A and B are shown apart, each in its own frame.
Chain A
Amino acid sequence: MIEIKNLHATVNGTEILKGINLTVKKGEVHAIMGPNGSGKSTLSKIIAGHPAYEVTSGEILFEINGKMKNILELDPADRAKEGVFLGFQYPIEVPGVSNFTFLKESFNQICEHQGAEKLDDQAFLKLLRSKLKILEMNEAFLERSVNEGFSGGEKKKNEILQMAILNPRLSLLDETDSGLDIDALKIVAGGVNSLRSKFNATVLVTHYQRLLDYIIPDYVHVLYKGQIIKSGDKSLAHELEEKGYDWLTGEK
Chain B
Amino acid sequence: MNHQNYLAMAEDYMLDTPLSALWAEEVRKKAMDSFKKSGFPTKSENYRFTNIEKFLTSMQWRTPHKDYDNRVIAEIVNYQAAYENLIVFVNGILAQELSRHPSIDVKPTYSALDSQESIWKSFTNFSQDELTYLHHSFLYEGVVIEAKKDTKSVVKILSLITDEGIFSHPTILVHAHKHSDLTLIEEAHAVCDKVYSQQIFSLVQVDAGAKVEHIQLVHENSTTNFLGTTEAKIQKDGNYRNITLHLGAALARKNLAIELLESGAHAESYALYGLKGKEHSDISIQILHKAADTTSAQIAKGILTDESRGIFTGKIHIFQEAQRVNSSQLNKNLILSQKAQAHSQPQLEIFADDVKCSHGSTTGQLQDDELFYFQTRGIPAEKARTLLAHAFGNEILMKIENKEIREEINTRVLKDFEAHLGH
Contact = CB atoms under 8 A, between A and B. Distances in A.
27 contacts: A49-B375, A75-B375, A75-B381, A76-B372, A76-B375, A76-B376, A77-B376, A77-B381, A80-B375, A80-B376, A81-B378, A84-B376, A91-B373, A92-B367, A92-B370, A92-B373, A94-B373, A95-B391, A96-B395, A97-B391, A102-B387, A106-B374, A106-B379, A109-B377, A109-B383, A110-B378, A145-B391
Contacts of A81: 378
A109 B380 CA distance: 8
A94 B378 contact: no
A210 B380 CA distance: 35
B373 A88 contact: yes
Contacts of B395: 95-96
Residue of B375, B380, B387, B390 with most chain A CB atoms under a 10 A cut-off: B375
Contacts of B380: 75, 77, 109
Interface of B: 367-370, 372-381, 383, 387-388, 390-392, 394-395
Contacts of A110: 378
A50 interface: yes
Contact of A105 (B370, B376, B379): B379
B388 A94 contact: yes
B394 A96 contact: yes
A113 interface: yes
Nearest to A87: B376
Nearest to B393: A96
A77 B388 contact: no
B423 to A, nearest CB: 15
Contact of A94 (B375, B376, B381, B391): B391
B375 A96 contact: no
A166 interface: yes
Contact of B378 (A80, A97, A101): A80
A51 B377 contact: no
Interface residues of A, number: 31
Interface string A114-127: 00000000000000
Interface in A135-160: 145
B388 A97 contact: yes
A84 B380 CA distance: 14
A49 to B, nearest CB: 7
Interface of A: 48-52, 75-77, 79-81, 84-86, 88, 91-92, 94-97, 101-102, 105-106, 109-110, 113, 145, 162, 166
A94 B388 CA distance: 8
A84 B378 CA distance: 9
Contacts of B372: 50-51, 76
Nearest to B373: A92
B377 A102 contact: yes
A48 B394 contact: no
B378 A109 contact: yes
B204 to A, nearest CB: 30
A147 to B, nearest CB: 9
Given A92-B369, A94-B370, A96-B394, A113 B375 contact: no
Nearest to B394: A96
A94 B370 CA distance: 7
A52 B375 contact: no
Contacts of B375: 49, 75-77, 80
Given A76-B376, A88-B373, A92-B369, 7 more contacts: A50-B372, A51-B368, A52-B368, A80-B378, A96-B395, A97-B388, A97-B391
A159 B387 CA distance: 19
B409 to A, nearest CB: 16
B124 to A, nearest CB: 39
A88 B368 CA distance: 14
A175 B345 CA distance: 44
B8 to A, nearest CB: 50
A48 B379 CA distance: 13
A165 to B, nearest CB: 9
Question: Which of B376, B381, B387 counts the most A-chain CB atoms under 10 A from its CB?
Answer: B376
Nearest to B369: A92
Contacts of A166: 377-378
A81 B383 CA distance: 14
Contacts of A101: 387
Nearest to A96: B391
A81 B377 CA distance: 8
Nearest to B391: A96
Identify the 8 closest CB pairs spanning chains A and B, nearest first. Answer: A96-B391, A76-B375, A106-B377, A80-B378, A109-B378, A92-B373, A77-B375, A97-B391
Contacts of B376: 48-49, 76-77, 79-80, 84-86, 88
B383 A105 contact: yes
Contacts of B368: 51-52
Nearest to B387: A97
B381 to A, nearest CB: 7
A101 B388 CA distance: 12
B370 A162 contact: no
